Amino acid sequence: MQPLIIVPAGRVIAGLPTLGVGDAFAVQRVEQLPAMETLDPERPTVVLIDVALAERSGGVAALGALAPFVAFIGLGEAGERDPSPVMQSVALTSWLPADATPSLGRTALQGALRHAGALIEAYRAAQLEQSSAFDLRELSRVGAALSTERDLITLLEMILWQALRLSSSDAGSLYLTERDASGTPATLRFKLSQNITLPELPFTEFTIPIDHASLAGYVASTGDPLMISDVYLLPEHVPYRQNRSFDEKFGYRTRSMLVLPMRTHKDETIGVLQLINRKRDPEVALTSLEVVDQQVLPFDQRSADLVAALAAQAAVAIENSQLYEDIERLFEGFVTAAVTAIEARDPTTSGHSARVATLTTNLAEAVDHAGEGPYRGLTFTREQIREIRYAGLLHDFGKVGVREQVLVKQKKLYPGDLTLLRHRFHGLLQQADLEYERERAEHLLEHGASDYGSFAARLDQVRRARRDQLSKWLDAIIRANEPTILPEGSFEELQEIGQQTYIDFDGEVRPLLTDEELKFLMITKGNLDPRERREIESHVTHTYRFLEQIPWTRELKGIPQIAFGHHEKLNGTGYPRGVTEREIPVQTRMMTIADIYDALTATDRPYKRAVPAERALDILTAESKQGLVDAHLLTTFIQAQVFTKVHHVEAPRRRSTGSRPAIR
């Protein structure tokens, strides 16, 4: 670039008689020095300064501001061999009195130009240092962002966008390596594309082989980067070629390209980053060939180094993300297996855990968007929603520690006990028939046919009355054996039956109903006696102890505590700990509502009929008014129609005649 010499207007400089003659220098005569921001820091600039120009330009302070960008030659009067005090304050490279010789003038100008060149180098070094520091900060910032992102697609979008930004590229693509059945890298999957000029491009995934035919395939195969000035002008000897179908279809012009492998710490290529058309101005869209000619630059080493550093970070982030996905799939498999184990013990509750998880996560999302009362403004992260879902899926896992006969109990009496009771009544019916036959035979033996008709009629009436009474009592027992969702029944009829006795085949007098049978039949709610209920309730503690043994990640460490309290009540009447509102996490309160709703409405419970959704919500509302469940969360549950997010499917019934009630 032609050096610039700035000279005071009207000043004749004897030491530089040919100044301004020829094309060696550009000379600018000024009344006042230009402002610093108007100077080109990359252009060698020399200022010939005298006292008058210095004073007109703002004095020593103004000259000091220009000193990092220009070289000063001081101009004095004839015979003035040393600078004046004012000029001594300026960083002069040399001093020329008015009567200086041309030889001295040339020497002074050469020295000033060398100093100006040195200033340019210093400026460039400072800019490079500043740019490098900025690049380092950006790479550190990007690296930190990449290390925290777990979602693969979001991660890939972040990687590609940062690569475009750091290299001032117009477009780019990202490919991920796919392996064959033997584990050998075989294809590249086109996962993502971004184009500043054509932001609305349709996107479809596809695969290309890892070979030398394509640019991305070549880089994945060899591990060597490619930096190409114009992909339309590739040398004949290279094996790869650019596919121009995209350019032809969308009217785009691909010119400069940078293709880099993303390699893991094991030196394996996990993907390929392909950048297109580095631009002078990152914001300009390449709308025509003329704009392409003006804007598109070859990729330089600095941009290649920056993107290579990003690609290295990206490879680690992608590998971590894929590993995290593998771990999540493994954990999903574990959770699925655990839920399957629960439901295998009692198929009648099949789907309950999944429905509770769905209802709870949907309620959490509804609260996140429009919470009610104290939950207004409460938000849940994606990780917290996942934590809630897993807690919902595993909340009943502790049922594996409950005896199966209790777990699958359908009625108040166990099936075997009811069968025994039926046999007892059947035996009494037979006994009534035998008594009838015995008395009839005795009458015939003693009295013959005399008065037999009227006697037989009276016997038959007694027998019928006995049979009717036994049938009535058995029907009452069968009805009492049915569990109820809500407390009901006074059991006077059962108490009356319990006072009856019969004589067994050994002649022993026995009660028609044993104390144990009567105890179970007089259960006022559900089908479990206190001991059985405690055993069923112990599943919560079993669940907590089991979940506590798992080394959860930081994001999932709340699962045991969330699941532990799903049968607790806000007023302290729940189980197993009887804790109150302050000790029950909001996630658990949501799960409680979901668990109760599903237990009430499930059609797969053989021990009860399904309650309609409206009735279930009424029951929940009543419980909220009693201080049992959270009223604000229930309001959101109802207003957001969360309960519509699950649909019950009729499940296969066990053959057994017995079972259990809604244990809530």
Distance CA 337, CA 378 (A): 33
**Which residue has better confidence, 605 or 636?**
636
pLDDT, position 655: 39
Place of tokens 């210093």: 122
Residue 475 token pair: 């029907």
Residue 648 token pair: 């019950």
Distance CA 121, CA 42 (A): 9
Distance CA 39, CA 394 (A): 71
Residue 520 token pair: 């179970």
Angle between helix 586-601 and 631-639 (nearest 10): 60
Place of tokens 């998880």: 357
User: Which is it for strands 71-75 and 92-96: parallel, antiparallel or unpaired?
Assistant: parallel
**3-state class (DSSP) for residue 75:** strand
Q: Count Cβ atoms below 10 Å from residue 579 Cβ, excluding itself.
A: 17
Whether residue 606 has pLDDT greater than 60: no
Q: What is the DSSP letter of 653?
A: P
Displacement of CA 66 from its chain's centroid (Å): 55
| DSSP per-residue string spanning 139-161 | HHHHHHHHHH---HHHHHHHHHH
Is domain 149-322 in CATH 1.20.1370.20, yes or no? no
In this structure, are residues 145 and 158 in contact, taking their beta carbons and an 8 Å threshold? yes
Q: Which CATH number is associated with domain 4-124?
A: 3.40.50.2300
Q: Count Cβ atoms below 10 Å from residue 156 Cβ, excluding itself.
A: 21
Whether residue 654 has pLDDT greater than 70: no
6 forms bridges with which residues in the sheet? 28, 47
For the whole model, what pTM was predicted? 0.58
H helices within 287-345, ranges in order? 289-295, 301-345
User: Which is it for strands 269-279 and 169-179: parallel, antiparallel or unpaired?
Assistant: antiparallel
Q: What is the DSSP letter of 580?
A: B
Distance CA 538, CA 48 (A): 96
**Tens digit of pLDDT for each residue in 285-322?**
999 999 999 999 999 988 888 888 888 888 888 888 78
Of 302, 246, 374, the C-alpha closest to 132 is 302
In this structure, the chain runs to a length of: 664
Displacement of CA 109 from its chain's centroid (Å): 67
Q: Which CATH architecture has domain 354-401+532-645?
A: Orthogonal Bundle (1.10)
Angle, CA of 164, 167 and 169, to the nearest 5°: 50
**Which residue has better confidence, 214 or 657?**
214
Maximum CA extent, the chain: 177
**Tens digit of pLDDT for each residue in 548-601?**
998 888 889 999 999 999 999 999 999 999 999 999 999 999 999 999 999 899
pLDDT, position 572: 95
**Which residue has better confidence, 598 or 341?**
598
User: Alpha-carbon dihedral of residues 479, 484, 487, 490, nearest 10 degrees?
Assistant: 0
Whether residue 658 has pLDDT greater than 60: no
**3-state class (DSSP) for residue 254:** coil
Where are any strands of DSSP class E within 432-517?
Answer: 501-503, 509-511
Distance CA 393, CA 282 (A): 49
pLDDT, position 10: 87
pLDDT, position 648: 59
194 forms bridges with which residues in the sheet? 172
R_g (Cα) of the chain, nearest Å: 46
Output the CA–CA distances (angstroms, integers) from residue 110 to 18, 36, 95, 125, in the order listed.
Answer: 14, 23, 13, 23
**Average pLDDT of the chain?**
87
Distance CA 192, CA 205 (A): 8
Which amino acid, 16?
L
**3-state class (DSSP) for residue 98:** coil
Of 646, 611, 613, the C-alpha closest to 485 is 611
Whether residue 384 has pLDDT greater than 90: yes
Distance CA 460, CA 344 (A): 52
**Which residue has better confidence, 35 or 150?**
35
Which amino acid, 163?
A
**Tens digit of pLDDT for each residue in 478-510?**
888 888 765 555 688 888 888 888 888 788 899
**Tens digit of pLDDT for each residue in 123-179?**
888 877 776 666 667 767 777 667 767 777 888 888 888 889 888 999 999 999 998
pLDDT, position 652: 45
